[in-house]
Amino acid sequence: MPSPRGGRGAGGFRVVAGGKGGDAVNGGRGGRGRGRGKGGKGGATGGDWTCRRCETSGNFASRRECHRCGAPRGATPSKSAVARADPKVVSKHAKTLRKRLCEKGEAVRLLELLDQTCLALGVRYLDELGLRIQDVDELRALRHLEGLVELQISAFVESRFVATLFDLEAELVSVHGLRESFDELRLGPLLQQPLVGSKFLPDPALRTIPQLSLGDVLKGLHRYRTETKNFKNVELVAFLNWLAAKRGASSPRSLCVAVNKYAIGSMIKFSGKAGRDAKAAREKAMRELVNESKAEYKAELKTQEAAGKGAVRTAAVLSTAARDLAADAAGWAATDRFDVVAANLAG
């Protein structure tokens, strides 16, 4: 039976029933309760302060730096003492600086862009202009987009046993309705995104995203197992080193592949299926080509025979590819006498 003082809410977070003045999520107690920090009865806002740089609230009164961006604590200027700047002018400055960062091939991050914008306008914090991030269109849109893309990157990687940066970009292009590449979001190169760096650990020397899809990884694993005759105990590190060497990469980090440590079993399962499917597809295509070539060959042979021409002369009017394919499929070498090949095919 759950305790009357609290239970578990959605997502597994512990929710404690708070009393008067307490904080229900962060452990407020029954009765009057006490707020976090020195504010006493103020509940969650009693002694807390809001960062002037990133506008994150909920910093404990005892903190001297913002828990999110590390900016030092400072007194917020009085609104009556600040002349409000034109948000459109500030947004224009931010847009120009954002464009420059993209042209330099650097990642565009909200806080860095905010600092540069304030510096260009001769202030340290945006509140000195009487504005907040939400008042400036360029900054507000960037804050939303940055958070959304980080969530999408994290979800893409964490929901897969194997994720490649090439597939991630294709997914982002599709989700955001872009024409060609991630660069169109004006967040800088995908390789320079902090979350990409922590999830994929790309080689710092990389300038372009390797064209390696999940399908390529599975095909590579199937080939690796076949070449090494190792169908049971496949070591992930050994396979990635092999794959990097086969693709001419300096190291596995140049492949930009994020692999879950438990993924090798699933990879083997799907690579085997992919290999079988690919083999079946190739065999089916070959049979169709051979049948088409035989039909073409027989039809042309009958036409030429009806006209009184020999099989050797018939060879001149048939495509070389069709003859070679038919001959190869039938098991004859290209050097065999054509009249023998023709007789067998026509038979």
- Condensed to tens digits (0 to 9), the pLDDT of residues 152-207 reads 999 999 988 889 999 999 999 999 999 999 999 999 999 999 999 999 999 999 99
Exposure b/e, 163-196, CB count within 10 A at least 16 = b: bbbbbbbeebbeeeeeeeebeebbbbbbbbbeeb
The pLDDT > 70 percentage for the chain reads 63
Q: What one-character-per-residue DSSP string does 230-272 give?
A: -SS---HHHHHHHHHHHTT-SSGGGG-EEE-TTHHHHHHHHHH
Classify residue 138 as exposed, middle or buried by CB count within 10 Å of its CB (0-12, 13-18, 19+).
buried
136 within 8 A of 86, measured Cβ to Cβ: no
Query: Mean pLDDT for the chain?
Result: 77
User: Of 258, 210, 246, 217, whose CA–CA distance to 234 is shortest?
Assistant: 217
* Packing angle of the helix pair 214-228, 236-246 (nearest 10 deg): 100
User: Of 98, 78, 82, whose CA–CA distance to 90 is shortest?
Assistant: 98
State residue 267's pLDDT score: 66
pTM: predicted TM-score of the whole model, two decimal places: 0.64
* Of the ranges 54-68, 134-148, 233-247, 287-301, the best mean pLDDT one: 134-148
